[in-house]
Chains A and B, each alone.
Chain A
Amino acid sequence: MNGMLLLHYLEKDARRSVTDLADILGESEKDIQSQIRYLEDNKIIVGYHTVINWDRANNDHVDAIIEVSAKPERDSGYDKIAERIAKFPEVTDMYLMSGKSEFFVSVSGRTMREVSDFVGQKLAPIDGVQATVTCFVLKTYKRDGVLMEFEQEEDDRQLVTP
């Protein structure tokens, strides 16, 4: 079976049922199931998430992107310090970057205060963290490839054309 095709469908819609996928790809449900298990076991599929527009959810929610300058350690480089940061539940995404700062860290919290407390009390004091720049998200336009605030583009084709 073409595992890439399966990934292609699941990436777009993680809720596609095994029955649906089997029907679309012309495989048995059993084969689809075992392929998904293979992808999960090998950490190719690492999670199934819902993309939420928190701005509309009527819920206190703040996102911030934090540039973190850090010092590498002998033997482990940046990985140890990255692990210490990434394990905080407030951190939603984290990358080692080329450029001015070492890490980009996305953080979510209920309020700006909560996020700044996290930076001031947990992130900045970590050994090896040299500086942080916190940028609060004002509005989300696109997340995980999904457009948030724009008008849907309708299918305005005629019903029959040559």
Chain B
Amino acid sequence: MDYDKLLTKRAREMRPSGIRKFFDLVAEMPECISLGVGEPDFQTPWDIRDAAIHSLERGRTKYTANAGLKGLREEICRYMHRKYNIPAQVNEVFVTVGGSEAIDLAIRALVEEGDEVIICEPCYVSYEPITTLTGGVPVHIAAREENDFRVQADEIEAAITPRTKMLVLAYPNNPTGAVLRHEDLEAIAEVVKRHDLIVLSDEIYAELVYNGRHESIASLPGMYERTITINGFSKAFSMTGWRLGYAVGPKPIIDIMIKIHQSCIMAAPTTSQYAGIVALRDCDDDVEHMRREYDIRRKFCVRKLNEMGLHTFEPFGAFYVFPDISSSGMSSDEFCEKLLERKHVAIVPGTAFGACGEGFARISYAYSIDHLREAMKRIEEFLKELKEEQNS
């Protein structure tokens, strides 16, 4: 069989995930110390797990409504309002299989052949492949380190053409940990309104901000009507395996997203949805506990990396630091591969998150402090050895 003839050109030409390549390398070294994960190390809070067990005991094992349990959608509305000042109504919210599904649906609902989607990199890996699958054209712009990886409104505006349809914003950012300031959001909102764009705002890390509170672009004047806010339970409540997320936005867009969702997913997992209600309603303290713990580790990593000579800007969100490794004289790929090979420490090359990640690496601090200390010790030894080799 000539499978290449069978498989669609778009699917075949989708850029493979840079993370995948590194994952395969690391998989050959299972005893390594990994700092490579994009998911929390905490267990899902017991209240949430207990709610899931209870729902199973009561026999809640059938499909829910396509858009999700009404109780959960109401809870999402309350949560969006009290946390992010987003005035969503129940029919402007629906429940997805993780934030990833919501990203997919939002792009499929809005992007047509030739439509340009501005993607601020470095960023999470799925926006570009989904855009190309729909026939859209990804337009990359680079957030720069000198701006603490906060994309600037003029950089966005410079990339806008008559075909530009959507702007993808993903802050707090994976992999840099950057957060946008109020003035950044205001300036970006002006540009977006002026050029009549739609914003896909992926706010999956919104609970993990360490210098105040997350601000949603949808809460700015005139922005709700042109923003799809994506959020979920994975990072805030440590529920990655539950596959539960949601999208919030203007009803006409949400309705179309639900229509696609009906055909490809039907409904998010019922057990997870019952658990999600408890997460949003009762777990503020658990979230705060995790946030405090991450904050200690964040400060620890930034300090250690800077002390050992890897310039690292202080990120105020998510659970990643993004050190500049260019002083090693190596590319990101080389640096990470050598570190893995010699010291058995896995970190992810910045290039996995876009070409502008060259010269950087993503370090996740979703690990115990003792795990982080051991890893930092090894990275420091690695740098010392490199220096000695260069000097000899």
Contact = CB atoms under 8 A, between A and B. Distances in A.
Contact of B39 (A5, A25, A153, A157): A157
27 contacts: A5-B296, A23-B373, A24-B369, A24-B373, A26-B299, A155-B41, A157-B37, A157-B39, A157-B41, A158-B23, A158-B37, A159-B26, A159-B27, A159-B32, A159-B34, A159-B36, A160-B19, A160-B22, A160-B34, A161-B19, A161-B36, A161-B37, A161-B38, A162-B19, A162-B38, A162-B125, A162-B126
A122 to B, nearest CB: 39
Q: What's the dominant secondary structure at chain B's contact region?
A: mixed
Interface string A18-42: 0000011110000000000000000
Interface string B284-297: 00000000100010
A90 B299 CA distance: 45
A24 B300 contact: yes
Contacts of B36: 159-161
Interface in B337-386: 346, 348, 352, 369, 373
B202 to A, nearest CB: 12
B390 interface: no
B43 interface: yes
Given A24-B373, A153-B43, A159 B23 contact: yes
Contacts of B373: 23-24
Contacts of A25: 296
Nearest to B366: A157
Given A24-B369, A155-B41, A162 B124 contact: yes
Interface of A: 5, 8, 23-26, 153, 155, 157-162
B140 interface: no
Contacts of A161: 19, 23, 36-39
B303 interface: yes
A64 B275 CA distance: 37
A26 B296 CA distance: 10
B44 to A, nearest CB: 10
A155 B369 CA distance: 15
Contacts of A23: 373
Contacts of B174: 162
A158 B369 CA distance: 19
A-B interface, 7 closest residue pairs, ranked by CB to CB distance from nearest: A160-B36, A160-B23, A159-B34, A159-B26, A161-B38, A162-B19, A161-B37
Nearest to A160: B36
A159 B369 contact: no
Interface string B1-35: 00000000000000001010011001100101010
A157 B366 CA distance: 11
Nearest to A5: B296
Contacts of B22: 160
Q: Which of B27, B41, B296 has the most CB of A within 10 A?
A: B296
Nearest to A156: B241
Contacts of A24: 296, 300, 369, 373
A75 to B, nearest CB: 40
Nearest to B368: A155
A25 B297 CA distance: 9
A162 B373 CA distance: 22
Contact of B303 (A5, A26, A155, A162): A26
Given A159-B23, A159-B36, A161-B37, 9 more contacts: A5-B296, A8-B292, A25-B296, A157-B37, A157-B41, A159-B27, A161-B38, A162-B19, A162-B126
Q: Which of A8, A155, A161 has the most CB of B within 10 A?
A: A161
Contacts of A157: 37, 39, 41
A23 B265 CA distance: 48
A8 B289 CA distance: 11
B52 to A, nearest CB: 15
A21 B34 CA distance: 23
A161 B292 CA distance: 23
Q: Which of B37, B124, B125, B352 has the most CB of A within 10 A?
A: B37
Nearest to A20: B373
A31 to B, nearest CB: 15
